[in-house]
């Protein structure tokens, strides 16, 4: 297998979401992302969504998206950090991985509510932000075409 032929590996329910292969060790991020992914998967399952856990496998191993909500057509990647470099990295991963799914909407699953700058960045790049709040999940969808700052 080479980087020229990446493929999707579907994960079993018992496979850990974190750490992702090839990503630098960050125990805090791994713990937070694993927790929010577990909670969001339970949330979607309770709503009877068909959700596929996956990794896009490349050589060398690089970070990958985490879930595909087939019911809503959303490609989901968990992200603990929202500073600029983390957002740029997440954006690159999402746009690379989206080619493996049928016309997905891009979604970044955050561990906490994003600040205004993060929301503007994600909206500009047509990425929905989702985060936990009070036992539920809040979402900020991108502004429609032609609407923005």
pTM given for the model:
0.87
Mean pLDDT of the chain: 88
More confident call, 144 vs 121: 121
Does 55 reside within a domain? yes
Q: How many CB atoms lie within 10 A of CB 71?
A: 12
Residue 53 included in any domain? yes
Q: Which domain holds residue 49?
A: 7-11+36-132
d(CA 5, CA 78): 24
Looking at the chain, list the stretches that DSSP marks H as alpha helix, in order from N- to C-terminal side: 27-46, 84-97, 116-124
pLDDT at 28 over 90: no
More reliable by pLDDT, 55 or 114: 114
CATH code for the domain in which residue 100 is found: 3.40.1350.10
- Residue 20 exposure: Cα atoms within 13 Å on the Cβ side: 25
Range of lowest pLDDT (12-16, 22-26, 109-113) = 22-26
| 8 A C-beta contact, residue 144 and residue 138 | no
Residue 146 falls within a domain, yes or no? no
Query: Based on the structure, what is the number of domains in the chain?
Result: 1
């Amino acid at each position: 297998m080479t980087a020229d032929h990446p493929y999707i590996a579907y994960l079993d329910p018992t496979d850990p979401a974190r750490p992702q292969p090839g990503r630098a060790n960050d125990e805090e991020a791994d713990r937070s992302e694993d927790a929010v992914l577990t909670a969001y998967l339970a949330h979607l399952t309770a709503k009877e969504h068909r959700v596929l856990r996956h990794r896009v496998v490349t050589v060398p191993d690089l970070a990958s998206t985490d879930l595909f909500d087939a019911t809503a057509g959303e490609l989901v990647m968990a992200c603990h950090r929202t500073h600029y470099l983390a957002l740029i990295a997440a954006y690159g991963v999402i746009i690379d991985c989206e080619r493996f799914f049928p016309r997905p909407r891009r979604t970044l699953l955050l561990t906490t509510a994003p600040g205004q700058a993060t929301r503007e960045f994600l909206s500009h790049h047509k990425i929905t932000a989702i985060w936990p709040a009070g036992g539920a999940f809040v979402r900020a969808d991108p502004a429609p075409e032609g609407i923005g700052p």
